[in-house]
């Protein structure tokens, strides 16, 4: 018997089905298949997976038990953390569990009667219903809004149910009809019980209802059901019939025809909505034919999970049959079987400790053991036959066994060692691996065996410690790891060596080694085991290195099972002579080894000679080697100002230099900086009414003068046409470090206009503004509180875009004496400014001040104004944008009826269904089923600004892998799409792309997933555009899958509608999606990896 399976749009409960498509060509004879291709080099690590693994590993160690990682569970897989720190992946060939009501339940094909009289299995991976008797269709498959119905001519009797099988007795005189539910479909068997009944079987006509499909046959009798876009939804090999010779029991029938059975092919034609089969009359009338005779027409989805090949039917394909797997030789046939497992990114880059293919042998020719071999092979497909087998690449293991003949050798498990093949899959980042079974001797009938068709690959793996990089390795004294001419001179022969080591399993130790100048190892030290990210240390023993000696050292991470690579070589020269002591370092703002408030605040550091009598200068570096020089004064002292750029430990490395050019030992001064202080003033402007707006940071509200309320980038905002909002006094000390930031919408560029300032008596100390003379955004500082005072401007690279929200930030740092402007989180320019002064007047939004009077009124809107009494750096400015990521569109697609999909984000942007779009079940309740030809939905206005950072995410499923690029969600411009998230047919991967301009010839900057896309598999996709870095990122199932190498630097904004199920190119709508979409979300801002992982965990 064989299985009818649907390859259709996905439904809500089936996320992990692996698919090999009918369009994919068979593997070449000696070439590894495309499905084994490694991920592209720009792939990124899987932070979501690593976090889940780390948490489960900690729980497993604590409780000394196996812990399943439920977020990694799928229809065909389970992953467990073990107490020893390793993990076990159980990857089945076929589904073992399915989603029901938001949880997982075991597959159960036991048939049950529904209230409407139809019959269905308790839990299968597709919707399967059988007739309860009467005039309805015999069987109906459904998934994601796609259905296939196979009928029977005339009314059917009420069936008899037995487990997973329904039998319709005497559908014709002497003929029974059996249907059997399977994991993802059903088998269909016509049982011709008598020779008399066979006389009337000249042709069989099955009503076939596959709306929107075209069923075609080839010369060999194989069938393909194609949709209007040319995608193959169903396949059917040439129908077969066989007799009962050698059939000894009902159990034998469930395992398919016996080797001794007579077999023949049936003629097949498709005419209109009928599938017509012509039984082989010669076989039916042959006196040697033993009844019952079984006729087995079927359809099959093209998911490539397993297949068997038959030498006596060398051109027939049996992909995904419900038959048993077979190996060896019997009668006139030889069999081999192949099992394909979608191991995916779970084991990519991992150390494979052990891998076992666990099979179950159901039958052997006798209890005399014979050898069966497991091989690593190429991929299987719908083209796999005896004459077109994948390459048999490597013999993995051989087992001498016999199980299933009788009481002395009962059926049971058989295990094959496939460790080396799984190791290849991990190292070469294959998306799936295929194992073939065959008898060692294919001429010995005693080697004939049968196996169940759903084995499991049990793969024990370990995360290899990360390779230490130079930035995570340092010494004290000595500072950061360097070698060669820049190596430090240290004042001790017993330096303390440090390294930050990491392991995804959260358990690692360090091995330090030290060598002399001749390359001879002089010692080592292995640390205790600690947590990932911990700083590990070792101290070089005394008496190993004399004055002037070279110390060379390195470190690696170890977890007891695998080791990282060694770190780069680190070197230091021991020199206790002049200058023989480290310089003295003091700072009142940042005392050593204490925590201080000061991120973004300049601090004064004093260097002293510490007994050295001839200091000419000092070299210093913050978090780098000491490379910046400052001259020493008459007493050998020097003073500098530094603004810490990050929180946590800051390492200031300083060394003295004498008049002869000799360098002293490095003094490492560690001071700890708290996270940046909150804003001195923060006005979200979300009141939406009234004459004042509150200060979210304190007690400095602003009073509105002539300003009105309007819709903001988030919430409400102020419209400032000839109006303003100001505090009653100063907010910042403008002579010190400061940052001002706001969202601006400029509606006219007719004149210079100031968005934010703080007033002095005659002018403002600074202005965040539009400069008419430069036609640029500007952060401007004045040299004095006087009319006509000199101004210094940091300018944007491009002219402003009118009527668009733009984020502006101006920064001044007294330590570097630099003025910086950021536009949409990106640093535009930095210029020197050395004359800061303190303006003690009001902080004002909406105008400037010149010659003592209000001036430069802002024509437009302002939102979310912030003022900080410290300098902010690029990552913090970016966080002002990214941390405020706002849900601006959310289409749950749960309507079930009607022609509009509501937007639940609160922005009231519904999407209207078009073409053949229809409602269906989805991953999260309802979903939108799309036919790949006309089905789509679109809003009436844009969902995000594509000129700034944004995020788009959804659950989706392809019915099949199409032969052209298709798009699940996009936002249109006039001629091109601002972004599109979908499928790239050339590389068979998920893709996120943005057009460089709204033109027909614009370049499409794209990033493709590191793993192949699978049809019939619910997948969570997220596309992120980070305007600060110019990066496009694509996440697959919550894991960062790839990041663009080439940045997207265009800032054009696609102002057309959001499209579900299509995109725009050369001014036309195209790329229609053949599948299902669910839970579409858009965010104005950049979601981080943890936030996206949370979306995918729903």
**If you search the block for the tokens 């030889």, which residue do you land on?**
334
Q: Residues 660-692, buried b or exposed e (16+ Cβ, 10 A)?
A: eeebbbbbbbebbbeebeebbbbbbbbbeeeee
Average pLDDT, integer, range 285-299: 86
Average pLDDT, integer, range 591-619: 90
Report the greatest alpha carbon distance in the chain: 121
Between residues 832 and 490, which one has the greater pLDDT? 832
Does residue 439 sit in the same domain as residue 578? no
Per-residue model confidence as pLDDT tens digits over 905-918: 877 899 999 999 99
Asked if residue 766 lies in contact with residue 809, where contact means CB atoms within 8 angstroms, the answer is: no
Asked if the structure places residue 7 within a domain, the reply is no
Asked if the structure places residue 1053 within a domain, the reply is yes
DSSP string, 535-588: EEEEEPPTTS--TTPEEEEEEEEE-SS-BPPPPPPEEEEE--SSS-SPPEEE-S
pLDDT attached to residue 48: 52
Phi, psi of 1077 (to 5 degrees): -125, 150
In total, the chain counts a number of residues equal to 1098
pLDDT attached to residue 883: 64
Per-residue model confidence as pLDDT tens digits over 295-350: 886 665 556 689 999 998 888 888 887 789 999 998 888 999 999 999 888 999 89
CA-based nearest residue to 177, from 163, 194, 159 = 159
Reduced to 3 states (helix: H, G, I; strand: E, B; else coil), residue 486 is: helix
Vertex 82 angle, CA 79 and 88, to 5° = 35
How far apart CA 910 and CA 899 sit, in angstroms, is: 10
Does residue 363 sit in the same domain as residue 257? no
Asked if the structure places residue 880 within a domain, the reply is no
The highest-confidence range among 3-7, 32-36, 48-52, 529-533, by mean pLDDT, is 529-533
Mean pLDDT is lowest, of 11-20, 116-125, 518-527, 1031-1040, for 11-20
| Residue finishing a domain among 676, 691, 721 | 676
> Is pLDDT above 50 for 3?
no
Say if residue 888 is preceded by a cis peptide, omega within 30 of 0: no
Q: How many structural domains is the chain composed of?
A: 5
How far apart CA 470 and CA 615 sit, in angstroms, is: 30
The highest-confidence range among 211-220, 437-446, 715-724, by mean pLDDT, is 437-446
How far apart CA 118 and CA 132 sit, in angstroms, is: 5
Does residue 455 sit in the same domain as residue 471? no
| Residue finishing a domain among 254, 272, 302 | 302
Q: Give the containing element (helix H, strand E) for 422.
A: helix 419-427
Q: Give the containing element (helix H, strand E) for 285.
A: helix 281-285
Average pLDDT, integer, range 443-461: 95
Q: Give the containing element (helix H, strand E) for 1059.
A: strand 1058-1060
Q: In a 10 Å sphere around its CB, with 0-12 CB exposed, 13-18 middle and 19+ buried, how is residue 818 labelled?
A: middle
Per-residue model confidence as pLDDT tens digits over 526-545: 999 988 888 999 999 998 99
Which residues partner with 130 through β-bridges?
119, 139
Between residues 15 and 500, which one has the greater pLDDT? 500
Does residue 797 sit in the same domain as residue 704? yes
Whichever domain contains 896, its CATH number is 2.60.120.200
Asked if the structure places residue 875 within a domain, the reply is no
Using only the alpha carbons of the chain, give its radius of gyration. 36
3-state helix, strand, coil in the chain (%, to 5): 5, 45, 50
Per-residue model confidence as pLDDT tens digits over 356-391: 999 999 999 999 999 999 999 999 987 899 999 999
Asked if the structure places residue 929 within a domain, the reply is yes
Sheet holding 204-209, edge to edge: 108-113, 119-123, 127-130, 139-143, 146-150, 204-209, 274-278, 267-271
Could you give the angle at which helices 47-63 and 1089-1096 cross, rounded to 10 degrees? 80
How far apart CA 197 and CA 189 sit, in angstroms, is: 15
pLDDT attached to residue 511: 97
* Sign, CA torsion 1055/1056/1057/1063: negative
Per-residue model confidence as pLDDT tens digits over 75-89: 899 999 999 889 999
> Is pLDDT above 60 for 767?
yes
Asked if residue 747 lies in contact with residue 867, where contact means CB atoms within 8 angstroms, the answer is: no
Between residues 733 and 53, which one has the greater pLDDT? 733
Does residue 193 sit in the same domain as residue 121? yes
Asked if the structure places residue 13 within a domain, the reply is no
Per-residue model confidence as pLDDT tens digits over 387-431: 999 999 999 999 999 999 999 999 999 999 999 999 999 999 998
How far apart CA 1000 and CA 984 sit, in angstroms, is: 19
Q: In terms of residue numbers, what domain contains 204?
A: 108-302
Average pLDDT, integer, range 787-796: 96
pLDDT band with cut points at 50, 70 and 90 for residue 1026:
confident
**N-terminal to C-terminal alpha carbon distance within the chain:** 38
Between residues 584 and 330, which one has the greater pLDDT? 584
Vertex 461 angle, CA 457 and 463, to 5° = 150
Average pLDDT, integer, range 286-294: 92
Reduced to 3 states (helix: H, G, I; strand: E, B; else coil), residue 892 is: coil
Does residue 578 sit in the same domain as residue 715? no
DSSP string, 232-264: EEEEEPPPEEE--TT--SHHHHHT---TT--EE
> Is pLDDT above 80 for 143?
no
How far apart CA 816 and CA 833 sit, in angstroms, is: 9
Reduced to 3 states (helix: H, G, I; strand: E, B; else coil), residue 787 is: coil
> Is pLDDT above 50 for 37?
no
The strand pair at 826-832 and 843-845 is best described as unpaired
pLDDT attached to residue 130: 95
Does residue 437 sit in the same domain as residue 515? no
| Residue finishing a domain among 253, 277, 302 | 302
Q: Give the containing element (helix H, strand E) for 880.
A: helix 874-882
How far apart CA 783 and CA 410 sit, in angstroms, is: 94
Per-residue model confidence as pLDDT tens digits over 1049-1090: 777 899 999 999 999 999 999 999 999 999 999 998 889 888
pLDDT attached to residue 660: 62
Q: What percent of the chain has pLDDT over 70?
A: 92
Does residue 446 sit in the same domain as residue 531? no
Asked if the structure places residue 3 within a domain, the reply is no
Which residues partner with 670 through β-bridges?
651
How far apart CA 1018 and CA 590 sit, in angstroms, is: 53
The strand pair at 1068-1070 and 1063-1065 is best described as antiparallel
Mean pLDDT is lowest, of 208-222, 472-486, 741-755, 845-859, for 208-222
What is the SS3 assignment for 734-747? Answer: CCCCEEEEEEEEEC
In the chain, how many H helices and how many E strands? 7, 87
How far apart CA 489 and CA 572 sit, in angstroms, is: 6
Give the pair of three-digit tokens for residue 173. Answer: 């005189």
How far apart CA 328 and CA 589 sit, in angstroms, is: 81
pLDDT attached to residue 254: 57
Give the pair of three-digit tokens for residue 397. Answer: 């293991």
CA-based nearest residue to 402, from 359, 370, 440 = 370
How far apart CA 896 and CA 573 sit, in angstroms, is: 75
Give the pair of three-digit tokens for residue 1028. Answer: 């600060």
Does residue 486 sit in the same domain as residue 452? no
Does residue 700 sit in the same domain as residue 551? no
Asked if residue 429 lies in contact with residue 1042, where contact means CB atoms within 8 angstroms, the answer is: no
Question: What's the Cα-to-Cα distance from 267 to each of 195, 288, 638, 1005, rounded to whole Å?
Answer: 20, 22, 97, 51
Whichever domain contains 606, its CATH number is 2.60.40.10
> Is pLDDT above 60 for 23?
no
Give the pair of three-digit tokens for residue 166. Answer: 């329904």
Task: Extract the runs of DSSP E, i.e. beta strands, from 107-247.
Answer: 108-113, 119-123, 127-130, 139-143, 146-150, 160-162, 165-172, 175-182, 185-192, 204-209, 214-217, 223-226, 232-236, 240-242
How far apart CA 892 and CA 422 sit, in angstroms, is: 39
Does residue 892 sit in the same domain as residue 1034? yes
**If you search the block for the tokens 């896309």, which residue do you land on?**
1013
Does residue 349 sit in the same domain as residue 430? yes
pLDDT attached to residue 914: 96
Asked if the structure places residue 718 within a domain, the reply is yes
* Sign, CA torsion 1039/1044/1050/1056: negative
Per-residue model confidence as pLDDT tens digits over 237-279: 778 888 988 766 555 555 556 667 788 888 888 888 888 889 9
pLDDT attached to residue 646: 85
How far apart CA 138 and CA 159 sit, in angstroms, is: 11
CA-based nearest residue to 437, from 376, 525, 482, 492 = 376
> Is pLDDT above 80 for 66?
yes
> Is pLDDT above 90 for 1005?
yes
Q: Supply the mean pLDDT for the chain.
A: 88
């Amino acid at each position: 018997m064989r299985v009818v399976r649907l390859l259709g749009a996905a439904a809500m409960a089936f996320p992990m089905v692996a698919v090999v498509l009918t369009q994919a060509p068979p593997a070449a004879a000696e070439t590894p298949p495309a499905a084994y291709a490694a991920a592209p080099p720009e792939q990124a690590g899987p932070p979501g997976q690593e976090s889940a693994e780390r948490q489960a590993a900690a729980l497993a160690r604590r409780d000394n038990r196996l812990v399943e990682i439920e977020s990694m569970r799928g229809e065909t897989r389970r992953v467990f953390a073990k107490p020893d720190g390793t993990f076990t992946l159980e990857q089945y060939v076929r589904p073992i569990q399915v989603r029901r009501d938001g949880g997982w339940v075991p597959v159960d094909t036991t048939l049950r009667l529904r209230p409407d009289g139809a019959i269905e299995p308790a839990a299968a991976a597709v919707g399967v219903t059988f007739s309860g008797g009467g005039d309805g269709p015999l069987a109906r498959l459904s998934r994601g809004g796609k259905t296939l119905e196979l009928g029977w001519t005339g009314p059917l009797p009420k069936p008899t149910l037995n487990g997973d099988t329904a039998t319709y007795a005497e559908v014709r005189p002497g003929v029974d009809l059996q249907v059997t539910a399977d994991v993802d479909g059903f088998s269909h068997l016509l049982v011709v019980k008598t020779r008399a009944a066979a006389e009337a079987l000249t042709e069989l006509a099955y009503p076939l209802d596959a709306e929107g499909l075209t069923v075609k046959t080839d010369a060999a009798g194989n069938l393909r059901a194609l949709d209007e876009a040319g995608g193959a939804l169903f396949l059917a090999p040439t129908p077969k019939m066989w007799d009962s010779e050698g059939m000894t029991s009902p159990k034998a029938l469930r395992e398919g025809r016996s080797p001794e059975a007579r077999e023949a092919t049936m003629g097949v034609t498709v005419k209109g909505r009928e599938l017509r089969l012509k039984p082989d009359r010669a076989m039916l009338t042959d006196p040697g034919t033993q009844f019952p005779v079984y006729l087995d027409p079927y359809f099959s989805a093209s998911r490539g999970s397993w297949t068997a090949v038959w030498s006596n039917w060398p051109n027939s394909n049996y992909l995904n049959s419900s038959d048993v797997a077979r190996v060896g030789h019997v009668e006139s046939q030889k069999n081999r079987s192949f099992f394909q497992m979608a191991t995916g990114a779970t084991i990519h880059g991992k150390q494979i400790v052990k891998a076992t293919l666990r099979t179950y042998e159901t039958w052997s020719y006798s209890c005399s053991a014979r050898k069966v071999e497991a091989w690593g092979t190429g991929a299987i497909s719908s083209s796999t036959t005896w004459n077109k087998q994948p390459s048999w690449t490597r013999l993995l293991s051989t087992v001498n066994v016999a199980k299933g003949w009788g009481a002395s050798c009962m059926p049971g498990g058989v295990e094959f060692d496939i460790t080396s093949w799984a190791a290849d899959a991990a190292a070469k980042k294959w998306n799936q691996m295929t194992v073939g079974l065959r008898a060692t001797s294919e001429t010995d009938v005693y080697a004939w065996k049968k196996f169940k068709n759903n084995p499991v690959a049990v793969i024990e793996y370990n995360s290899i410690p990360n390779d230490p990089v130079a930035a995570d390795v340092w010494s004290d004294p000595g500072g950061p790891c360097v070698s060669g001419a820049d190596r430090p001179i240290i004042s001790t022969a017993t330096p303390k060596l440090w390294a930050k080591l990491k392991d995804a399993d959260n358990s690692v130790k360090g091995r330090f080694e030290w060598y002399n100048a001749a390359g001879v190892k002089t010692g080592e030290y292995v640390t205790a085991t600690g947590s990932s990210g911990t700083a590990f240390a070792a101290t070089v023993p005394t008496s190993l290195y004399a004055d002037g000696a070279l110390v060379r050292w390195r470190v690696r991470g170890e977890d007891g099972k695998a080791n990282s690579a060694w770190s780069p070589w680190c070197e230091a020269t021991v020199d206790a002579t002049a200058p023989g002591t480290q310089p003295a370092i003091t700072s009142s703002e940042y005392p050593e080894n204490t925590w201080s408030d000061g991120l973004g605040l300049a601090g004064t550091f004093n260097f002293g000679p510490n007994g050295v009598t001839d200091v000419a200068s000092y070299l210093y570096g913050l978090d780098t080697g000491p490379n910046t020089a400052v001259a020493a004064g008459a007493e050998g002292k020097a003073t500098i100002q530094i603004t810490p750029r990050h929180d946590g430990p800051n390492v200031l490395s300083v060394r003295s230099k004498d008049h002869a050019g000799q360098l002293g030992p490095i003094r490492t001064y560690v001071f700890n900086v708290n996270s940046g202080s909150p804003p001195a003033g923060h006005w979200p402007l979300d009141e939406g009414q009234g004459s004042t707006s509150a200060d979210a940071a304190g007690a400095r509200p602003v009073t509105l003068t002539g300003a009105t309320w309007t819709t903001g980038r988030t919430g409400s905002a102020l419209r400032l046409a000839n109006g303003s909002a100001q505090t009653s006094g100063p907010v910042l000390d403008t002579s010190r470090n400061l940052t001002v930031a706001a969202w601006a919408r400029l509606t006219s560029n007719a004149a210079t206009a100031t968005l934010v300032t703080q007033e002095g008596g005659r002018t403002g100390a600074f202005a965040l503004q539009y400069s008419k003379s430069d036609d640029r955004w500007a952060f401007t500082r004045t040299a004095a509180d006087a009319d006509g005072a000199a101004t210094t401007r940091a300018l944007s690279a491009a002219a402003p875009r009118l009527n668009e929200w733009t984020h502006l930030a101006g920064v001044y740092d007294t330590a570097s004496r630099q003025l910086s402007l950021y536009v949409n989180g990106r640093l535009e320019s930095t210029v020197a400014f050395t004359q800061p002064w303190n303006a003690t007047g009001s902080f004002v939004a909406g105008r400037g001040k010149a010659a003592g009077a209000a001036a430069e009124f802002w024509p437009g809107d302002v939102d979310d104004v912030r003022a900080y009494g410290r300098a902010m750096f690029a990552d913090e400015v970016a966080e002002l944008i990214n941390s405020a990521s706002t849900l601006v569109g959310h289409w749950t697609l749960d309507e079930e009826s009607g022609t509009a999909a509501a937007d639940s984000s609160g922005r009231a942007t519904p999407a209207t269904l078009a073409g053949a779009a229809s409602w269906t079940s989805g991953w999260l309740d309802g979903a939108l089923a799309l036919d790949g030809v006309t089905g789509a939905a679109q809003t009436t206005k844009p969902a995000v600004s594509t000129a700034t950072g944004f995020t788009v995410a959804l659950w989706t499923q392809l019915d099949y892998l199409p032969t052209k690029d298709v798009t699940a969600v996009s936002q249109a411009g006039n001629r091109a799409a601002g972004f599109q998230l979908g499928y790239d047919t050339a590389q068979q991967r998920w893709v996120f792309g943005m057009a460089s301009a709204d033109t027909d010839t614009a370049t499409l900057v794209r990033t493709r997933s590191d793993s192949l896309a699978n049809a019939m598999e619910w997948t969570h996709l997220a596309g992120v555009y980070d305007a600060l870095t110019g990066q496009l990122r694509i996440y697959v199932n919550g894991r960062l899958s790839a990041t663009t190498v080439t940045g997207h630097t265009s800032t054009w904004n696609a102002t057309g509608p959001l499209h579900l199920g299509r995109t725009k190119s050369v001014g036309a709508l195209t790329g229609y999606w053949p599948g299902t979409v669910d839970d579409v979300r858009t965010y104005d801002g950049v979601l981080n990896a943890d936030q996206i992982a949370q979306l995918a965990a729903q």
